[in-house]
Structure 1
Amino acid sequence: MQTRQMRRWFKVFPEVLLVDATHNTNESRYKLFSFMVNDVYGHGQYVHHSLMENESNECLSDAIRSFKFNNPSWEKIKVIVIDKDLGELELLERSSKKYIRTEMAKSEYGGPTSFDKVEVEDTIDMIRLAPTAVEYTKYLKYLYFLLDDVHLKDSDAIPKPGHPFLKYFMRNWDSMKERWAFYARSDVPHLGNHANNRLESSWGHLKEVLKPEMALDECVNTLMFLQTVAEMDYAKKNHRSWSDAL
């Protein structure tokens, strides 16, 4: 689903695209797969919606193909922000590999906690925000100290992890640090979008109106009505800005 204004928004603001799926918007249990950009006021604006039967590769591929077909300016994308959903990541890697930026903010550790979670989270945050590769490695070695109780010198190579969380981190995050670590992404024009919070916050407002018991056609009609309201609000802000300038 895409209105003319949604297409215009993407054409004008294509640099950063936020992509994610949510549920509980209709009785058929179709997932709502949405694309969002930042407008001139720094606000998130939806530019495409797809209601999908599930999050299978086939459904996600159809949604991505539809978006690209209807938006030739997709080639102007600089960054795509997604949750660390391996299905989305795999598909977007194929179609837009150089743009992917994954989100680390909400990752769940899983499993029993046999460590000081707060201290580990603080260390992860330092790793994420490390300004250089050297600082990144220093904080990573501190994480090894916390979890594997090993003391690594500056000259020591990173050993194989022993703790379950450390194995998880090295396998799922360190292996793709160029997509989320600050030092590797500091030159990426993400417009302040380090995670999909903007998209999820907007979904929160949508779900105040869209309900799990809604019929699918009612969900579509309501979604388009809410989109019309958002477009009218944007037009009003534009008119006010031009009036103030004059």
Structure 2
Amino acid sequence: METLSAVLSSFKDNNPAWTKTETFVIDKDCVEWAILEELFQKPRYFCASFMRSSTLYMLNMGKLRVGVEEQYAVEGHFRALMYAPHEPEFESAREEFVQNSREQAPDIIVYFQNNWLSCREMWANSPRGKHFTAGNTTTNRI
């Protein structure tokens, strides 16, 4: 936490154009997020592609108690949510995701609502698409 705060403070101190920063691509990490919000109030924060896919990884590792057949169905629905280009497509994909997951993997609904739905502007393409990211979808660079 201190290291990230020091790096970002140095970035601001040594870069007069820091006020033009529009977006950050971060891991879904509350500490990172809090530091960025403290130091940069204006920009948008987006979840890295890897973190968006971590939900799918958790499904595959069985951490959410989902059977193999259900994994494939839920993965497909979650991908549809991630890549929906506009709000109507997102809402349609969300309804389908919730309906099918409720039948196939009810634990997913609770996890999704508690961890992802409330911050969808960070990970879903529909709200992200209107913000400049220079095509960056990863956190491996500053």
CA drift of 1:178 comes to 1.5
Paired residue for 1:100, among 37, 45, 48? 45
* Higher normalized contact order (CA 8 Å, seq sep 6+, divided by chain length): 2
The residue that corresponds to 1:174 in the other structure is: 117
> Which of the pair has more CA radius of gyration?
1
The residue that corresponds to 1:119 in the other structure is: 73
| Alpha-carbon distance in 1 for matches of 2:107, 2:39 | 33
Query: What residue identity is the alignment partner of 1:125?
Result: R
CA drift of 1:190 comes to 1.2
| Alpha-carbon distance in 1 for matches of 2:52, 2:121 | 15
Give the unaligned 5+ runs of structure 1.
Answer: 1-56, 151-161, 201-246
> Going by fraction, where is helix more abundant, 1 or 2?
2
- Superposed CA deviations along residues 72-115 of structure 1, whole A, max 9, x for unmatched, are 21111121111212211121122224331112433243332246
What does 1:149-188 correspond to in 2, within 5 Å?
A: 149=103, 163-188=106-131
Query: What residue identity is the alignment partner of 1:165?
Result: I
| Alpha-carbon distance in 2 for matches of 1:195, 1:163 | 30
Contact 2:122 2:128 in 1 (8 A): yes
> Going by fraction, where is strand more abundant, 1 or 2?
1
- Superposed CA deviations along residues 125-173 of structure 1, whole A, max 9, x for unmatched, are 11111122222111111111222129xxxxxxxxxxx932222222221
Contact 2:26 2:47 in 1 (8 A): yes
**Structure 1 consecutive aligned stretches of length 4 or more whose deviation exceeds 3 Å:** none
**Which stretch of structure 1 is more off in the superposition, 110-119 or 138-147?**
110-119
Query: What residue identity is the alignment partner of 2:123?
Result: W
| Alpha-carbon distance in 2 for matches of 1:113, 1:174 | 19
CA drift of 1:62 comes to 2.1
CA drift of 1:179 comes to 2.1
Contact 1:84 1:107 in 2 (8 A): no
Give the unaligned 5+ runs of structure 2.
Answer: none
Paired residue for 1:145, among 79, 87, 99? 99
Establish whether residue 86 from structure 1 lines up as the match of residue 40 from structure 2.
no
